[in-house]
């Protein structure tokens, strides 16, 4: 495989289990990660957008990261990635260091999203300080490109500078732009030199053809076997059109019932018998009628 990287593969942007009082519910979390491993995920990203990362304190994040390590008792090769980006450089450094000290394989780091008009030089200096102070040799940082949410895009020029400055430690990006044009531009610009993990299920096959190295998606919590089918076909130089079509249909359901965190938690509860986990404000759980509609639409896709 020409674009192989130690982090290549299929990842779930895993949800964060919460009790009805919004406190972390850690007892079932390793079981959820083992569920993902058993259904074809190479690993999971904790505390991303679907994991409601910005809603948690550093102490809560550390508790969740530490609890995730238990999955490796049953699945020792399961890769763990941590979302560590905050508007504070110091806090991001401390979270990143903590993730690596616990044994995480990589971090996926949002840009400092409060200052949406920050220039490219400032963003480069921010990431440079983070990598120099918190990312050890043999571990990896990926930038998190989700401009529709963060308001701060990671431009091609910025990616070039970071890759030139840190050719190994700056591995690449999670591309959640949901843009086919951007997926193609990344491939045309970097080829296999930049690790790109695509964040939009309906673009997975296209992104792989454009030299992406895998995916991190919200729907991988519940459709990882289909993502893995697309991935395995890619390794054989093929495209699994049927599996991609199922992913397209699943994505349409998710986009009809946003946001991702409450949607995925409803499906995990109603279809896969996990507890009825809450979301933390400002997100809200689905009302009963909306949950019924979302599950019915989901089951149509699953049984098609």
Residue 214: which region, alpha, beta or left (left: phi > 0; alpha: psi -120 to 50)? left
Identify whether 117 is part of a domain.
Answer: yes
pLDDT for 195 beyond 80: yes
Identify whether 259 is part of a domain.
Answer: no
pTM > 0.85: yes or no:
yes
Q: What is the pLDDT of residues 235-278, one digit of tens each?
A: 999 999 999 999 999 999 999 999 999 999 999 999 999 999 99
CATH code of 219's domain: 3.20.20.70
Identify whether 197 is part of a domain.
Answer: yes
Identify whether 162 is part of a domain.
Answer: yes
- Closest to 166 in 3D by CA, of 109, 209, 113: 109
State which residues form the domain around 51. 9-236
pLDDT for 67 beyond 70: yes
Instruction: Read off the pLDDT band of 17 (50, 70, 90).
Output: very high
Identify whether 241 is part of a domain.
Answer: no
Distance in angstroms (rounded) separating the CA atoms of residues 155 and 224: 29
Residue 172: which region, alpha, beta or left (left: phi > 0; alpha: psi -120 to 50)? left
Q: What Cα–Cα distance (Å) separates residue 75 from each residue in 33, 94, 96, 172?
A: 9, 27, 23, 25
Q: How many CB atoms lie within 10 A of CB 204?
A: 29
Q: What is the mean pLDDT of residues 166-182?
A: 97
Q: What Cα–Cα distance (Å) separates residue 215 from each residue in 8, 29, 240, 245, 278?
A: 8, 21, 15, 16, 26
Q: How many CB atoms lie within 10 A of CB 241?
A: 10
Listed in order, strand segments (DSSP E) in the chain are 9-13, 43-46, 79-83, 106-109, 140-145, 170-175, 195-198, 214-217
- The catalytic site residues sit at 49, 114, 144, 174
Q: What is the pLDDT of residues 115-146, one digit of tens each?
A: 999 999 999 999 999 999 999 999 999 999 99
Q: What is the pLDDT of residues 33-55, one digit of tens each?
A: 999 999 999 999 999 999 999 99
Contact 58/22 with Cβ under 8 angstroms? Answer: no
Listed in order, strand segments (DSSP E) in 34-134 are 43-46, 79-83, 106-109
Identify whether 266 is part of a domain.
Answer: no
pLDDT of residue 3: 54
Q: Give the CA-trace dihedral at 100, 261, 110, 4, to 10 degrees.
A: 60
Identify whether 288 is part of a domain.
Answer: no
Distance in angstroms (rounded) separating the CA atoms of residues 201 and 11: 11
Contact 150/111 with Cβ under 8 angstroms? Answer: yes
Q: Is the dihedral of CA 9, 126, 136, 150 positive or negative?
A: negative
What is the total count of domains within the chain? 1
Identify whether 144 is part of a domain.
Answer: yes
């Amino acid at each position: 495989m020409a674009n192989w990287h130690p982090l290549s593969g299929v990842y779930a942007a895993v949800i964060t289990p919460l009790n009805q009082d919004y406190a972390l519910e850690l007892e079932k979390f390793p079981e959820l990660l083992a569920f993902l491993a058993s259904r074809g995920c190479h690993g999971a990203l904790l505390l991303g957008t679907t994991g409601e990362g910005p809603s948690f304190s550093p102490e809560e994040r550390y508790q969740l990261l530490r609890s995730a390590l238990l999955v490796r008792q049953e699945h020792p090769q399961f890769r763990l990635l941590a979302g560590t980006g905050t508007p504070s450089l110091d806090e991001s450094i401390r979270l990143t260091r903590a993730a690596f000290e616990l044994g995480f394989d990589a971090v996926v780091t949002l840009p400092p999203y409060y200052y949406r008009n920050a220039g490219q030089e400032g963003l480069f200096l921010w990431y440079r300080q983070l990598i120099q102070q918190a990312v050890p040799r043999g571990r990896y940082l990926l930038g998190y490109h989700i401009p529709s949410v963060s308001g701060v895009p990671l431009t091609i020029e910025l990616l070039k500078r970071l890759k030139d400055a840190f050719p190994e430690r700056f591995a690449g990006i999670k591309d959640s732009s949901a843009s086919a044009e951007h997926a193609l531009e990344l491939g045309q610009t970097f080829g296999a030199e930049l690790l790109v993990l695509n964040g939009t299920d309906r673009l997975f096959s296209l992104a792989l053809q454009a030299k992406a190295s895998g995916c991190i998606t919200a729907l991988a919590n519940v459709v990882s076997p289909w993502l893995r089918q697309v991935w395995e076909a890619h390794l054989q130089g093929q495209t699994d059109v049927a599996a991609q079509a199922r992913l397209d249909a699943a994505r349409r359901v998710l986009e009809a019932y946003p946001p991702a965190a409450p949607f995925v938690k409803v499906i995990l509860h109603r279809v896969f018998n996990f507890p009825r986990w809450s979301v933390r404000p400002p997100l809200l759980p689905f009302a009963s009628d909306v949950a019924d509609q979302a599950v019915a639409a989901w089951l149509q896709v699953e049984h098609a």
